[in-house]
Structure 1
Amino acid sequence: MPLRSKVRGPAPQDPNLEEDIIDEAIIFFKPLTFFRNFEFRSDADRVLVYLILYILECLKKLQRCPTKSQGSKELTSLALARFDIPGDPGFPRELNNLYAKPSIADAGLMREYISQLRTELGLRLLDKVYADDQSQPSKWWLCFAKRKFLDQSLSAPGTY
């Protein structure tokens, strides 16, 4: 899936895109978090669901970050930290059957792609959460940090 990205990675770059999957995830994040069911129609829907779950993880981290610079450090470390991909035991079990387990050769490429998505999403999300005031995050974004999307979470219980 092409991205309008400043971050290096395996995703094809297309600076002419008006909106990419990351923009869609941020735009539709708030209404989608109220969904208990979601119909998967394409691979883009699978990526969208992962990004929505990752936004929730980012917001949990940003709750403890009073400034944008501190939030940037937290989201960068979160994006680059080890994470589970489909087929890994730590990946949400209920979502594992929606994603095909990658082969060993494809697993590395998938990790790079997801890492690129996570890093780029973190950069764009910071601009939204700290849009009005660089010194404190928007309460209208952070109020969603306690929600779960499809009753799922990318982090293990008790992590935050």
Structure 2
Amino acid sequence: MAEHSSFNAVNNVEVVCGMAIPPIKTKVQGPAATIPQQDVIDIIDEAIKFFRPNLLFKNYEIKGPGDVFIIYMTVFITQCLRKIANEEKEANALRMLIEMARLPVPKPNEAGFFMRGIAKDPTSNAEGEKFSAYLKQAKEELVNRLIKVLYKDGVKSWDHKFWVGLSKKNFMNLKF
């Protein structure tokens, strides 16, 4: 059974373009509200935790705006793993992924956005800008956390090959 975001049911979470944009634990500059407690599970923790079980599904029932974020990040993690599949050193992998995370995020109504039909078109330019800025910040924070899972003491962890092995799958046949 697929894993779904706990942020689907949270009533006070802002929704932009059909995607939840809850507060996150981050030091990365951006529009997201920050959570000061490090022991709280945020939506980025969920995206990393749910990556491996959810990747096994070709179909994924979207139960709310949190799931839209999980879909985006699952596809992004797949791209990250493909990019660093053969990289031995943590510093090089982090540099490559930060570079990738900082690329502009297209709005749902722009060409090049891979989740057309899943995320909703922005109702205003400000909504579209907030959507793009939040995802850019979230991607950079996700990269910082993912590197800690994949590398230990500056080199690949033994778990690295299992994560990278999953990068050959396309979640819901979506490509970043």
TM-score (norm 1): 0.88
Find out whether 1:146 has 2:140 as its counterpart: no
Partner of residue 118, structure 1: 139
Using the TM superposition, give the Cα deviation of residue 136 of structure 1 relative to its aligned residue in structure 2, in angstroms.
Answer: 2.7
Find out whether 1:62 has 2:78 as its counterpart: no
Alignment counterpart, residue 151 of structure 2, candidates 125, 130, 145 = 130
Using the TM superposition, give the Cα deviation of residue 85 of structure 1 relative to its aligned residue in structure 2, in angstroms.
Answer: 3.0
Using the TM superposition, give the Cα deviation of residue 46 of structure 1 relative to its aligned residue in structure 2, in angstroms.
Answer: 0.4
Alignment counterpart, residue 74 of structure 1, candidates 79, 91, 96 = 96
Q: For 1:75-125, what per-residue CA distance to the aligned partner results, in whole angstroms no more than 9, with x for missing partners?
A: 110011233231122112xx3112111122222221110111000000000
Partner of residue 49, structure 1: 71
Using the TM superposition, give the Cα deviation of residue 60 of structure 1 relative to its aligned residue in structure 2, in angstroms.
Answer: 0.9
Opposite residue 119 of structure 1, the aligned amino acid is: E
Please tell me whether the aligned partners of residues 59 and 172 of structure 2 are also in contact (alpha carbons under 8 angstroms): yes
Partner of residue 97, structure 1: 117
Opposite residue 101 of structure 2, the aligned amino acid is: A
Using the TM superposition, give the Cα deviation of residue 6 of structure 1 relative to its aligned residue in structure 2, in angstroms.
Answer: 1.8
Partner Cα separation in structure 2 for residue 135 and residue 147 of structure 1? 24
Partner Cα separation in structure 2 for residue 144 and residue 58 of structure 1? 11
Alignment counterpart, residue 130 of structure 2, candidates 109, 131, 139 = 109
Opposite residue 19 of structure 1, the aligned amino acid is: I
Partner of residue 2, structure 1: 23
The number of aligned residues is 151
Partner Cα separation in structure 2 for residue 66 and residue 127 of structure 1? 14
Opposite residue 139 of structure 1, the aligned amino acid is: K
**Aligned residues: percent identity?**
30
Alignment RMSD (CA, Å): 1.4
Partner of residue 8, structure 2: none
Partner of residue 18, structure 1: 40
Opposite residue 58 of structure 2, the aligned amino acid is: R
TM-score (norm 2): 0.80
SS at match of 1:91: coil
Specify every segment of 5 or more residues in structure 2 that has no aligned partner in the other structure, as ranges: 1-21
Partner of residue 157, structure 1: none
